[in-house]
Amino acid sequence: MIAPFVDAAWLADHLDDVVVCDVRWYLDGRSGRAAYEGGHLPGAIWVDLATDLSAPASDSEGRHPFPTPEAFAAAMAARGIGDEDTVVAYDDDGGAVAARLVWMLRATGHEAALLDGGIGAWRGPLSTEPETRQPATFTPRPWPAQRIVGIDEVAATGDVLIDARAAERFAGAHDPYDPRFGHIPGARSLPTREHLGPDGRLQDADVLRARFAAVGIEAGVDVVSYCGGGVTACHNLLVMEHAGLPQGRLYPGSWSQWSRDPDRPVVTGP
């Protein structure tokens, strides 16, 4: 399978061999579609996190529940992504958002990678022409049970539980997105955007392994990753794979589900 990250030089050489997907989305409500229309990689199609990669938000499931396999397949097919296509996705957030698409595809056996550094790493011209592809055949595949955990399993798991959100949200800073503030008991803070260097690209693999080791993650350790809504948690899992660590599992409901259940305990502090 293709590596979880590719660089801009690799993509430039393989632009005609892959489906490039722009997955820009903003927690503050800005329009990812407008960002795409303002300039995107040549040939890139836009993928909507809210409708293509998520089921409708709810108090019981969180802000970005996983869609059914059938709904995900229908969205990919409508965008022109087929069973045999290789996808390279990007955003303008170091891959923290586009990771959701890449993880979903890789977890179901498809070829997909993140563009390291996102749109900022691309040195060629950008296009403002919307791109579409002919509908394709994308076969529904079940979400693999060994790669995903639900809310009850998170509460009972003995795995290392990592939180991909910014440290201040982990510690309990108030935000407008969720009804309670803090983190799941036993979780360890590992902000995924801190895997990136000043240029927006991944730090060296040895630096990444040291960051994981600092929260108890090494070979042979089982890991569950969560975040606010099950999006940036995917980035932590892809970075783990890039660093040569075992595949972890995703808690899709994440804090947005956990915090909406008043019976679930909450911890604050670093």
Positions annotated as catalytic residues are 227
Compute the distance between CA of residue 226 and CA of residue 255 in angstroms, rounded to an integer. 7
Which pair of structure tokens corresponds to residue 148?
């995903």
Query: Computed over its alpha carbons, how large is the radius of gyration of the chain?
Result: 18
CA 109 to chain centre: 16
> At residue 199, what are phi and psi to the nearest 5 degrees?
-85, 5
Helix (H) or strand (E) holding 56: none
Full DSSP string of 195-250: GB-TTSSBPPHHHHHHHHHHTT--TT--EEEE-SSSSHHHHHHHHHHHTTPPP-EE
Rounded CA separation 111/108 (Å):
9
